[in-house]
Structure formats: structure tokens, C-alpha cells
């Protein structure tokens, strides 16, 4: 809701108080000044961005409708196809691939709405990580403390938005890869229902759980980006044949009769106290006192891990056979291990997934929105292998997905809202709804934003 959010920028441009070209040139200057120390961008499209911005200005001058994101700078995780760019997906291997000939559907829809693409953003190789410590392209720093990770695998998008380089970025989320960087960088992140947003033109990872989605500095931007990207797409076999259900017009509705509860058990243990304090602040603001227990979340994580490793290895099997040492050491051994998982375990994991989905469906007959932490601790240091949480020393990187992984496992829609932590580092709280009920999430997120409980943390 600040003037610096995407819709605020679009309003200024539409009112002709500033040109799209000026906004784009300023954003490019900021990237030139800040990105060398943050390492968010793997490609900056200065020329085409200025050209696109001039086209928006020309539309306005001719009284043609430029779209809701008129002149808004944005950037995308480098697993999205961008016409004229090679889609790296964080890898060295893909750097040898030909350039994409067309934009991914999500990119095309945002550009069609007037947004101006500034470039491609860093990520964990092939999206297999939670920290964006990429050995080929370097780690992406957290704008709130450059010695700390930005989260991952959409770390470039999280950091670029949190550093004020762009007000809007696209990421992807298989086990938490939008929500974790959104939380660690202090911005809003949406993983819609599995199948809601087209993945066409985005490099896949774990096909059973892959989602794409936006990261923003305000709830209204998140809703507007989601609305623009919705709709069927024959190019993605997973994309649902559902009409657009616009959420931006609904964010002022308030929480009304929505039933909100706090997830306990798994989602209330093995984290730092400040994480649970953040959930309680959100619950208090919403008057949520009810607690519900989702069963068997550790088994859900186990099943998600098996499915992700198997599907990821299958996608990259040819390269794993022919050039294993060209993979990032941070992902290589995990991909190779995934290729050796017996098929019976994979199918067993898919059977458990159906069982778990049914249990969670039962809970959503009684509740509309669940609250859970996004991560068990704020951003770890770059290079940090282990972390002590609640008295136990645990591997830092996989633990970042403790609370996100069970939810994407069954494709639930989730918004991670940014909340203040105990120190200078931000935290996130997940708002979780039944499949296809994104509208409830936006209504709750907007209530929290208006109450000042959820607010993006933009690093100066």
C-alpha cells in the first residue's frame, strides 16, 4: 500500500506524473548500484526494458489502455523462459542451451498487463535447495544482512523485491521455494493451488508439486499479479480448466465469517521461540484461538522428499549419466541418489499423499484458514551447514522446509506474509486454505496488512 508498490507505481505512470521510461531507468540505476553486492540478477535486460517502457508511454500518449501493471518493473527467476534469453534454471549445463523463443505463460501475461521485464534472477540449481547458494553463479545475499542467505530456491526474487530493485518478481515453489525466501527476505509470497497458475515455459523440477507465483511488497500487488496470471493454458497439462476468480476486488472484504485456526503439533515445535511468537501475533490480530492438528507431517515430508528426488532425477537423468560433474556440488549427490530410489518407494509415497490429502480435507471442512510459521528460524549465514534450534543441532538447509513442505505436498494455496522477528531479520507466517480458496487468503492477508501486523521489510 506504499507508493513504492507495483500498483502505486502504475498509478503514477498512468496519471502521467512520471514516465514508464523514467521509472525503468531509475530501476536499472538501482540494480547497477546495489546488485553487485547482492547478486540477485543473472541477466539484466536494459535495452529491451527501456524499449518496453517507451511502448507503455506511447500507449498512454495515444489513450490506449496499457494494463494494470503499466510500466511496473519486474524480474523473474531464471527458470522462466524469456524470449531471447537462455533459460539457465540455475545451472551451468543449461547455459549451453539455445535461447528461448517465447516467454513462459506467466511472464507473457504480466508483460501483457503492462509490466516491464528487467531481467532474470538467481536460484538454486534446478530449484533443488532452500538457500540460493549457487556454486556456478554465486550466492544471493539477504538484503537485511549480506552475510546471510536469501532463502531459496527463489532467492533472487526474494532479495530483489526486499532490496527495492523491483516491486514484483516471479518465483517457483515445489517444497517451499517461494515461501521460504519471501519469509527470510521479508516480503509477501503466494503459492496458489496446484494447477491454478500455468507452469508452461517454466523449467520443471518435481512435477507433482511444481507451482509458480509472485513475490511482492503489498497484498494488493500480490492479488493483482495473481489475477493477471490466472486462467487455463493448454500448454500446461496440469493447469486447471477454471475461469479467473479475481481476488484484488475482494481484499477489502475483511475476515468476516472466515474461520481461522492455528496449526499446532508439527507446526508448533522444532522452531525458535520468535517464530511461534510471530504466529501468535497474527492469531491475536485475527482473534483466532482455535488449535487444529494436521496428522503425520513428518511422513508427509518423507514422502515429498522421495517424490521430489525421484522426479527431479528423472528429469535430469541424461545429464546425470553423461556429465555428472557439471552439476552444482550443492545438488549433484542428491540428484544422483534420487535416480537410485526404487520405484516401489515412489509409488508408496504417492499413495501416502492421497491419504494425507484426505485428512487435511477433513480439517478444512471445519476451518477456512490455518496459520503456521513459514520457517523454523530466520535466515542462516551463507555457508552455514548446521543450526541449533530448540536445543538440537540440525542441518540448516533442509530444516528451512520443515513447515512448508507438507503443504505443497498436497497443493494447498498458501500466502507467506512478512512479520517482524525478534531482531533485524524478518520472519514469515503462512496463511493456508483449502484448494481453490485463495480468496480467503487474500482477505486475511489484507486484514493483517491494514492492522500493521504484516508488512514488507524493504532494505534501504
Partner 1 sequence: MSVTPEPSSPPSPQPSPQPSDVARYVDETAPLLGLRIPPECREGVTRNLAGLLAAGAVLGEFPVGDTEPAPVFEP
Task: Tell me the CB-side half-sphere exposure of residue 335, using CA atoms within 13 A.
Answer: 27
Sole residue written with cell 513504492? 4
The total of other beta-carbon atoms located within 10 Å of residue 84's CB is 13
Nearer to partner 1, 25 or 336 (CB): 336
Position among 64, 321, 383, 424 found at the interface with partner 1 (CB under 8 A): 321
Which residues partner with 134 through β-bridges?
138
- 89 in Cβ contact with 126 (< 8 Å): yes
In the complex, minimum distance from the CB of residue 353 to partner 1, in angstroms, rounded to a whole number: 4
Nearer to partner 1, 15 or 340 (CB): 340
**Residue 342 binds to partner 1 (criterion: CB under 8 A):** yes
Q: How many binding residues for partner 1 (CB under 8 A)? A: 36
Q: Specify the stretch interacting with partner 1 by CB under 8 A; choose among 115-123, 176-184, 226-234, 335-343.
A: 335-343
**Residue 320 binds to partner 1 (criterion: CB under 8 A):** yes
In the complex, minimum distance from the CB of residue 357 to partner 1, in angstroms, rounded to a whole number: 7
Say how far apart CA 330 and CA 12 lie, in whole Å. 43
**Residue 349 binds to partner 1 (criterion: CB under 8 A):** yes
Sole residue written with cell 532479495? 159
Point out the catalytic residue in the list 154, 177, 198, 255.
177
Point out the catalytic residue in the list 150, 153, 154, 255.
153
**Residue 232 binds to partner 1 (criterion: CB under 8 A):** no
Nearer to partner 1, 358 or 366 (CB): 358
In the complex, minimum distance from the CB of residue 410 to partner 1, in angstroms, rounded to a whole number: 8
Sole residue written with cell 530410489? 341
3-state DSSP assignment of residue 144: coil
Site residues for partner 1, 187-216, by CB under 8 A, read 208
The vertex-162 CA angle with 404 and 456, nearest 5°, equals 75
Cα of 338 vs its chain's centroid, Å: 24
**Residue 359 binds to partner 1 (criterion: CB under 8 A):** yes
Active site residue 150: no
Through-space distance between the first and last CA atoms of the chain, rounded to whole angstroms: 17
Task: Tell me the CB-side half-sphere exposure of residue 334, using CA atoms within 13 A.
Answer: 18
Nearer to partner 1, 129 or 156 (CB): 129
Nearer to partner 1, 338 or 426 (CB): 338
- Beta-carbon contacts of 421 under 8 Å, excluding residues fewer than 6 positions away, are 274, 278, 378, 427
**Residue 65 binds to partner 1 (criterion: CB under 8 A):** no
**Residue 353 binds to partner 1 (criterion: CB under 8 A):** yes
Nearer to partner 1, 69 or 126 (CB): 126
In the complex, minimum distance from the CB of residue 155 to partner 1, in angstroms, rounded to a whole number: 22
Burial pattern 302-322, b for ≥16 Cβ within 10 A else e, equals ebbbbbbbbbbbbbbeebbee
Q: Specify the stretch interacting with partner 1 by CB under 8 A; choose among 119-127, 132-140, 339-347, 382-390.
A: 339-347
**Residue 306 binds to partner 1 (criterion: CB under 8 A):** yes
Nearer to partner 1, 196 or 220 (CB): 196
Position among 49, 303, 434, 459 found at the interface with partner 1 (CB under 8 A): 303
Pairing of strands 392-395, 386-389: antiparallel
In the complex, minimum distance from the CB of residue 41 to partner 1, in angstroms, rounded to a whole number: 30
Say how far apart CA 387 and CA 391 lie, in whole Å. 10
Active site residue 153: yes
Residue of 362, 398, 392, 361 lying closest to 380 (CA atoms):
398
User: Mask: binding to partner 1, 272-301, rule CB under 8 A, as x and -?
Assistant: ------------------------x-xx--
**Residue 355 binds to partner 1 (criterion: CB under 8 A):** yes
3-state DSSP assignment of residue 74: strand
In the complex, minimum distance from the CB of residue 131 to partner 1, in angstroms, rounded to a whole number: 17
In the complex, minimum distance from the CB of residue 79 to partner 1, in angstroms, rounded to a whole number: 22
Say how far apart CA 338 and CA 54 lie, in whole Å. 48
**Residue 394 binds to partner 1 (criterion: CB under 8 A):** no
> Residue 109: exposed, middle, or buried by beta-carbon count in 10 A (0-12, 13-18, 19+)?
buried
In the complex, minimum distance from the CB of residue 434 to partner 1, in angstroms, rounded to a whole number: 16
Dihedral over alpha carbons 269, 273, 275, 281 (to 10 degrees): 110
Q: List residues with catalytic annotation.
A: 77, 153, 177
- Report the interface residues with partner 1, using CB under 8 A: 208, 296, 298-299, 302-303, 305-306, 309, 320-321, 324-325, 332-334, 336-342, 345, 347-355, 357-359
Amino acid at each position: 500500500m506504499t507508493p513504492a508498490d507495483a500498483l502505486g507505481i502504475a498509478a503514477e505512470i498512468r496519471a502521467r506524473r512520471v514516465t514508464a521510461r523514467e521509472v525503468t531507468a531509475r530501476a536499472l540505476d538501482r540494480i547497477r548500484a546495489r546488485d553487485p553486492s547482492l547478486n540477485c540478477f543473472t541477466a539484466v535486460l536494459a535495452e529491451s526494458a527501456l524499449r518496453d517502457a517507451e511502448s507503455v508511454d506511447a500507449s498512454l500518449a495515444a489513450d490506449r489502455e496499457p494494463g494494470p501493471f503499466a510500466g511496473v518493473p519486474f524480474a523473474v527467476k531464471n527458470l522462466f523462459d524469456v524470449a531471447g534469453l537462455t533459460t539457465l534454471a540455475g545451472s551451468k549445463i543449461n547455459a549451453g542451451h539455445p535461447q528461448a523463443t517465447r516467454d513462459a505463460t506467466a511472464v507473457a501475461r504480466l508483460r501483457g498487463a503492462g509490466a516491464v521485464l528487467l531481467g532474470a534472477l538467481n536460484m538454486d540449481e534446478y530449484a533443488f535447495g532452500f538457500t540460493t547458494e549457487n556454486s556456478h553463479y554465486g550466492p544471493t545475499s539477504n538484503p537485511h544482512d549480506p552475510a546471510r542467505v536469501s532463502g531459496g530456491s527463489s532467492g533472487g526474487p526474494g532479495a530483489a523485491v526486499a532490496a527495492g530493485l523491483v516491486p514484483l518478481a516471479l518465483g517457483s515453489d515445489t517444497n517451499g521455494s517461494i515461501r521460504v525466501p519471501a519469509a527470510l527476505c521479508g516480503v509477501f509470497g503466494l503459492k496458489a493451488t496446484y494447477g491454478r497458475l500455468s507452469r508452461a515455459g517454466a523449467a520443471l523440477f518435481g512435477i507433482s508439486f511444481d507451482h509458480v507465483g509472485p513475490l511482492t511488497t503489498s497484498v494488493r500487488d500480490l492479488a493483482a499479479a495473481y489475477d493477471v496470471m490466472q486462467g487455463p493454458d493448454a500448454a500446461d497439462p496440469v493447469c486447471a480448466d477454471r475461469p479467473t476468480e479475481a481476488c484484488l476486488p475482494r481484499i477489502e472484504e475483511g475476515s468476516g465469517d472466515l474461520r481461522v485456526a492455528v496449526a499446532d503439533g508439527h507446526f508448533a515445535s522444532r522452531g525458535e521461540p520468535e517464530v511461534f511468537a510471530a504466529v501468535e501475533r497474527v492469531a491475536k490480530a485475527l482473534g483466532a484461538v482455535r488449535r487444529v492438528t494436521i496428522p503425520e507431517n513428518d511422513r508427509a515430508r518423507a514422502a515429498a522428499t522421495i517424490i521430489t528426488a525421484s522426479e527431479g532425477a528423472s528429469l535430469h537423468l541424461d545429464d546425470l549419466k553423461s556429465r555428472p560433474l557439471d552439476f552444482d556440488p550443492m545438488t549433484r549427490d542428491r540428484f544422483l541418489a534420487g535416480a537410485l530410489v526404487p520405484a516401489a518407494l515412489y509409488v508408496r509415497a504417492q499413495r501416502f499423499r492421497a491419504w494425507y490429502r484426505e485428512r487435511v480435507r477433513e480439517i478444512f471442512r471445519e476451518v477456512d484458514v490455518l496459520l503456521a510459521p513459514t520457517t523454523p528460524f530466520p535466515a542462516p549465514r551463507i555457508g552455514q551447514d548446521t543450526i541449533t534450534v530448540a536445543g538440537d543441532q540440525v542441518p540448516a538447509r533442509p530444516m528451512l522446509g520443515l513447515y512448508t513442505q507438507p503443504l505443497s505436498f498436497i497443493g494447498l494455496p498458501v500466502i507467506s506474509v512478512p512479520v517482524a522477528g525478534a531482531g533485524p531479520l524478518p520472519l514469515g507466517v503462512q496463511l493456508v486454505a483449502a484448494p481453490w480458496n485463495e480468496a480467503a487468503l487474500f482477505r486475511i492477508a489484507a486484514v493483517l496488512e491494514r492492522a500493521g501486523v504484516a508488512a514488507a521489510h524493504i532494505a534501504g
